[in-house]
Chain A
């Protein structure tokens, strides 16, 4: 490395610093605070100088690194290692993962908090798998997936509170409703090109949320629905003192009463639901309709020429994805026993999309890893909620820039004309 290069990269870093100063100066440096009547400004120059300094340093290091023509070695070796896992050991990984998930509630260190986080992660895994059908297999970017989650949750809540039917009847009904909404939305809009579709689905998600907020008579508006029945163990409720004529779970099995019973049951419930989603996806990939999805994702015009009806094919993907979203939604409703439009904002859709994208579109294992990473690890930093979201968005950008196919890329079609040769 020559001296000229160093001077050059130093100048470049200073320029970066100047830009960073312009970026952070007003927004970070001059914080507006409302006091009494008006707004006042509190300067925070220390933070700005810290950020600018970091930018200059970072830029300088990157420059020196690229002058040496060494790439992000750590990054590429790590990712290639990940990829080799996905190629060879996906099956072992899956089996180990499922076994671990099955015994997880009985491990000695597992407490209530761990169980709650695990249930949350599993819910996101299920949502990720459901959306993976739409985004990963059929290649349709759906930014309003949370709408189907909401439809599932609300239809479960409304049916269960109005008619008092049990979870096992309401669950499929909620799925059917969500799938119906999927078709309702999908039918007109699936003709649209990829990015338009993304924006329209986003709009649909917002419409559903606004309706949920404003349609007081049915949804109870922003107050949400309370008193949603908890699930029962095939007719045996999880109650300390059951109503007359009822036998509760702990009495039936002669166990000491514990609130953990219900939590563990919920855990297994979502585990089974998620695994069903996964199993279904793996199977349908090998059916003609699954093949058609992948083909459409790769080349729509070629598909049309070969007589595949793109609208109908996309519609099935959309409806099936929506159905799983609806299942997850009704699980969410029964777990929380309370739902409100607050839970179904756009950011929720963005999180699910991020899980699918970061995991590698189309990769089932990738969704699991991404969910554990995004929900699990960041759950530990609950207090830093806002920073969490910055890291979240930043990760989406970085992954797209450095590894546009996700951590575990699996866009290889399941079937090729000439075997494995490309």
Chain B
């Protein structure tokens, strides 16, 4: 039982990270109907920017909460630049091209980003000294002590705050309305005087900033990154987006949590080696049996 609760806590933490990445996939899919294959690598770039700024700030001796806030903002800002540029260079010229063109372009972009980081930062894994230590302990008098570290609490709370801001942005502001309008009918939205290109750019910026937060959490949580983390995390987050129903924002978060839980429980109870197979199998099973996911709308093909 205690073991189960521990795995649950770990799963929720991991799920928060996946959920934040999944939002980027689902938003872009909703608005321009393409799978942004390079999104996982944007997450990786976010992790690197966070790592670099952590190293710099830890030399200055500022208090930890301020460092966290600064790193958060810096990572979001720089990673958003990447998201914006990738969209402008690789996807914008392809609107109206044949269906698979943006996917292939995204694949190329993903290869470029991965190798670009490999060249500029080196291929070795980057370890980081843990900034957080300690945590709350439960069930102290049983044989298995459940530990909820402060880091896990930080990750989950930060995710909840970001989700709150994000939901407000999408449901209550003009920007969110424009975005939802673009999702439904881009031509009509343009006719009504909304700058569609700008709305799409902002979508990429928001998606990349959330991914960079996930990247920062990843650095803190695992303490080690390399240029290759984007690939697996990207696939898993995409699975999460599909599981929750692609195009649906609460779905992405829900899917992220589920994938995080599935992965943790699989690793905890079944086998550690095959934990990535679990994620891929879930992806395949979900796509086959309910491609619309939990909260998605059915996709009807028209002539």
| Chain A residues near B (Cβ < 8 Å) | 19, 22-23, 25-28, 30-34, 38-41, 139, 141, 143, 188-189, 191-196, 198-200, 202-204, 206-207, 210-211, 213-214, 300-302, 346-347, 350, 353-354, 357, 386-387, 389-390, 392-397, 400-401, 404
Contact = CB atoms under 8 A, between A and B. Distances in A.
A404 B117 CA distance: 27
A308 to B, nearest CB: 16
17 contacts: A26-B52, A27-B121, A32-B48, A34-B127, A196-B291, A203-B280, A203-B283, A207-B277, A207-B281, A214-B274, A389-B111, A390-B115, A394-B108, A400-B105, A401-B90, A401-B94, A404-B98
Given A27-B45, A27-B120, A390 B112 contact: yes
Given A207-B280, A401-B90, 12 more contacts: A22-B77, A23-B85, A27-B116, A27-B117, A189-B288, A199-B238, A203-B283, A214-B274, A386-B115, A400-B97, A404-B94, A404-B97
B49 interface: yes
B280 A206 contact: yes
Interface string B64-94: 0000000000000110011011000110011
Given A141-B103, A389-B111, A396-B108, A31 B121 contact: yes
B85 A198 contact: no
A317 B178 CA distance: 42
B84 to A, nearest CB: 8
A41 B53 CA distance: 10
Contacts of A196: 242, 287, 291
B161 interface: no
A366 to B, nearest CB: 15
Mostly, the A contact residues are helix
A39 B126 contact: yes
A41 B55 contact: yes
A28 B100 CA distance: 32
Contacts of B218: none
Q: When A and B form their complex, which 3 residue pairs have the shortest distance between CB atoms, in order from nearest?
A: A396-B108, A393-B111, A393-B112
Contacts of A301: 301, 303
Contacts of B169: none
Given A41-B55, A347-B111, A199 B283 contact: yes
Contact of B78 (A22, A34, A188, A192): A22
* Of listed B55, B107, B303, residue having the most chain A CB within 10 A: B107
Interface string B233-260: 0010010001000000000000000000
B268 to A, nearest CB: 17
Nearest to A27: B120
Contacts of A27: 45, 48-49, 52, 116-117, 120-121
Chain B interface mostly helix, strand, loop or mixed? helix
A18 to B, nearest CB: 9
Contact of A390 (B52, B104, B119): B119
A207 B281 CA distance: 8
Given A23-B85, A195-B100, A397 B280 contact: no
Contacts of A389: 111, 114-115
Contacts of B117: 27
Interface in B246-301: 273-274, 276-277, 280-281, 283-284, 287-288, 291, 299, 301
A31 B120 contact: yes
B99 interface: yes
Interface in B116-132: 116-124, 126-129
A32 B117 CA distance: 11
Nearest to B123: A386
Contact of B99 (A195, A213, A350, A357): A195
B287 A200 contact: yes
B126 A188 contact: no
Nearest to A221: B273
Contact of B81 (A23, A350, A401): A23
Contacts of B274: 210, 214
Contacts of B283: 199-200, 203
Nearest to B276: A210
Contacts of A19: 81, 84-85
Contact of B124 (A25, A34, A141, A195): A34
Given A23-B82, A38-B129, A390-B115, A397 B89 contact: yes
